Structure 1
Amino acid sequence: MEYVTKLLMLAVIGGFIGWITNYIAIKLLFRPFKPVKLLFGYKIQGVIPARKPELAVSIGNVIEKQLLSPEEIINKLVSEKDINYLKEAIVTNVINILKDKLPGFLHGFTDRTVKKHLEDFMEKDGDRYIREMINNIVRHAAEKITISEMVTEKINALDLVTFESIVLSVVNKELKHIEYLGGVLGFIIGLIQGTVALLF
């Protein structure tokens, strides 16, 4: 019974050491926010606060190169429904402009003949015409939009408390699992060490 008690004590101590080690390691990802001077000129600072600018650049590059490009974002803004709306809007606006500029006696001609030709053109070539126009806009817009720079600026503008809360909102559950896993592994290692110590 005495051996079992000692073994359990060693396992519990090992579990606690494993848990507290992982707990401190996770806290050190963010804390302390600002460098703290230690003896002999050593400094300690959270890994993420110390490397926030580099992380911001890396996150921005990953988002732009692997997740979202400017072209994808802009292309998603225009659907088939939007193209049909644009075709109708072009016909309506052209007719309205002509009726505004032409004498009244030509309005009937505009409504009948010109509108019919425009509608036929849009039916036949409107999709291609509008898509070419959109592609040109996308190409020019993509040259001006740099998602990586935008993300980098946004992250760098965040204070460390807000940045920490954002990161934890995403991975807090996983970090808790790492803490508990440290406790479990420490407990198992404590059992093994205790068994070896008691046997030999």
Structure 2
Amino acid sequence: MSMDFLTLALADFKANLWLYLSIPVTSGLVGYVTNVIAIKMMFYPLDFVGKPPIFGWQGIIPRKAGKMAAIACETLVPTLVTEREIFDRLEPARVAAEIEKPLLALVDDLMDEIMREYEPTLWETLPIRVRNIIVRRIQDDTPQVVAQIMGELRNDVEMVFDLKEMVVSTLIRDRALINAVFQETGKEEFKFIGRSGLYFGLLFGVFQMIGWTFYKASWQLPLFGLLVGWATNYVALEMIFRPQTPRRIGPFTIQGLFFKRQKEISRDYARLIADEIVTPSNIIEAVLKGPYADRVFSMIAKHVKRTIDEQSGIARPFVAWTVGTKRYVAMKDTAVSRIVSRLPQTVRAVDGYAKDAMDISSTLAGRLEVLPPLEFERMLRPAFKEDEWMLIATGAALGFCVGIAQVIAFRLLAVEPTLATSALRLIGIG
């Protein structure tokens, strides 16, 4: 490169100083904006917007909620916690005591409701004292029945409760929740991706500025914009997940941000799982409405029907004779089905005790903290890995478009071409 050429190029640089300095600034903004947009595109919108299947967009994680939930659940069950471990921490007698009051009220309401529905005349003709005796006797046995049912659930928990199915179905049903799992777990990593886009964009922009100073081809800025959009996403992702273990490079020790924050991430992840997914209410609902609901229903029916038969006492022969045996059986079946349908709301009284007893948050956090790097990475990496190429390609495309805008701006704003600019064009550079 001759001194004349260098002098001409520097003269042009000085004449259009602010335009040149805008290149690294713009590059930094492109890196930041493309990275932030790429992150947003992972999570939003929750539902497809546009004309499916091609024209439009749906967040990557909501679109693949089922697959994402299954992948995330592979780390959770059974590696970290099992169905039996959860139920073994619940004392049947304590559960019965916790829900005794709302359950007694439920029995009282149901007895009156069902008798008035099936045999209003008979129920009205029974002396109030007799009616109260029937209800009270059933109520007296209710805590014991609950404890017996809980004992059977504990003994055959794998046959009536599928924890993985419950977690996956909960996340599929609530796409905002699966977003929250990944966003909460990787909140610092997502912030880092945005900031790194700015930092790396500024750095790459300096090289872009130097290149434009000496070679003003129209394709140069769009190409640099594409490279900045691609590189900032790619480098940021690599810095989050690599290296998995601390590595010494000269005076510095480097490690992927995700692994450096393993304890903090473990606490956040465990808290979210315990507060939003593996909750007592969700567990009860999964047991009563899940894939093994028929077995649970049969278990509850056996105990409830037996209690009604045993405690009806003095009124049972009269009731059976008056309404007929088939009708009496139908009444018991109705009682069982309505008890089961109202149980999720009734057992909310046990939430406080059950949450403390199961202690899901502390259990998960402690076990996540000591997970080997490869297993720990599987918690969050699927959110990136599944369509990582798409995020990087989006950043590259946006960077390319900004590069075109830069070229147009340079052509329009450089309204006073200097001697250096003219000379550069005469020798074919630009």
The answer on whether the counterparts of 2:224 and 2:403 sit within 8 Å (CA) in structure 1 is yes
Whole-Å Cα distance in 2 between the matches of residues 72 and 122 of structure 1?
Answer: 27
Asked whether 1:60 is paired with 2:273, we answer: no
**Corresponding residue for residue 18 of structure 1:** 229
If asked which structure has higher relative contact order (CA below 8 Å, sep 6+), I would say: 1
Whole-Å Cα distance in 1 between the matches of residues 268 and 249 of structure 2?
Answer: 30
**Corresponding residue for residue 152 of structure 1:** 365
Asked whether 1:178 is paired with 2:391, we answer: yes
CA deviation vs aligned residue, 1:75-129 (integer Å, no higher than 9, x gap): 4213575345323256669x9xxxxxxxxxxxxxxxx97xx8xx8996697676x
**1:166 positional shift:** 4.2
Question: TM-score by structure 1 length?
Answer: 0.65
**Corresponding residue for residue 256 of structure 2:** 46
- Give 3-state SS (helix, strand or coil) of 1:149's partner: helix
**Corresponding residue for residue 27 of structure 2:** none
The answer on whether the counterparts of 1:12 and 1:190 sit within 8 Å (CA) in structure 2 is yes
**Corresponding residue for residue 301 of structure 2:** 87
Whole-Å Cα distance in 1 between the matches of residues 348 and 273 of structure 2?
Answer: 24
Which one has a larger percent helix, Structure 1 or Structure 2?
A: 1
CA deviation vs aligned residue, 1:14-70 (integer Å, no higher than 9, x gap): 21122012101011111112233445x443321100101101110111122233313
Q: 1:164 to 1:63 in 2, by over 3 A?
A: same
1:34 maps to a residue whose letter is T
- Give 3-state SS (helix, strand or coil) of 1:49's partner: helix
**1:138 positional shift:** 5.1
Q: 1:73 to 1:7 in 2, by over 3 A?
A: same
Whole-Å Cα distance in 2 between the matches of residues 62 and 25 of structure 1?
Answer: 26
Q: What stretches of structure 2 of length at least 5 have no aligned partner?
A: 1-215, 310-315, 321-328, 415-430
- Give 3-state SS (helix, strand or coil) of 2:380's partner: helix
The percent identity for this pair of structures is 21
The answer on whether the counterparts of 2:224 and 2:400 sit within 8 Å (CA) in structure 1 is yes
Return 139-148 or 45-54, whichever deviates more.
139-148
Instruction: Count residues with an aligned counterpart.
Output: 177
Whole-Å Cα distance in 1 between the matches of residues 218 and 262 of structure 2?
Answer: 44
The answer on whether the counterparts of 1:31 and 1:46 sit within 8 Å (CA) in structure 2 is yes
**Corresponding residue for residue 31 of structure 1:** 242
The answer on whether the counterparts of 2:269 and 2:365 sit within 8 Å (CA) in structure 1 is yes
1:49 maps to a residue whose letter is F
Question: TM-score by structure 2 length?
Answer: 0.34
- Give 3-state SS (helix, strand or coil) of 1:183's partner: helix
Whole-Å Cα distance in 1 between the matches of residues 298 and 255 of structure 2?
Answer: 57
**Corresponding residue for residue 76 of structure 1:** 286
CA deviation vs aligned residue, 1:130-172 (integer Å, no higher than 9, x gap): x5xx949955544310222233234334321222244232332
**Corresponding residue for residue 7 of structure 1:** 218
Whole-Å Cα distance in 1 between the matches of residues 275 and 403 of structure 2?
Answer: 46
Q: 1:157 to 1:6 in 2, by over 3 A?
A: same
Whole-Å Cα distance in 1 between the matches of residues 403 and 334 of structure 2?
Answer: 78
Q: 1:13 to 1:120 in 2, by over 3 A?
A: closer
After TM superposition, list the pairs within 5 Å mapping 1:80-119 onto structure 2.
81=294, 82-89=296-303
1:85 maps to a residue whose letter is M
The answer on whether the counterparts of 2:241 and 2:257 sit within 8 Å (CA) in structure 1 is yes
2:362 maps to a residue whose letter is E
The answer on whether the counterparts of 2:225 and 2:403 sit within 8 Å (CA) in structure 1 is yes
**Corresponding residue for residue 197 of structure 2:** none
Q: What stretches of structure 1 of length at least 5 have no aligned partner?
A: 96-111
**Corresponding residue for residue 193 of structure 1:** 406
Whole-Å Cα distance in 2 between the matches of residues 78 and 21 of structure 1?
Answer: 49
Q: 1:120 to 1:166 in 2, by over 3 A?
A: closer
Whole-Å Cα distance in 2 between the matches of residues 150 and 38 of structure 1?
Answer: 36
2:263 maps to a residue whose letter is P
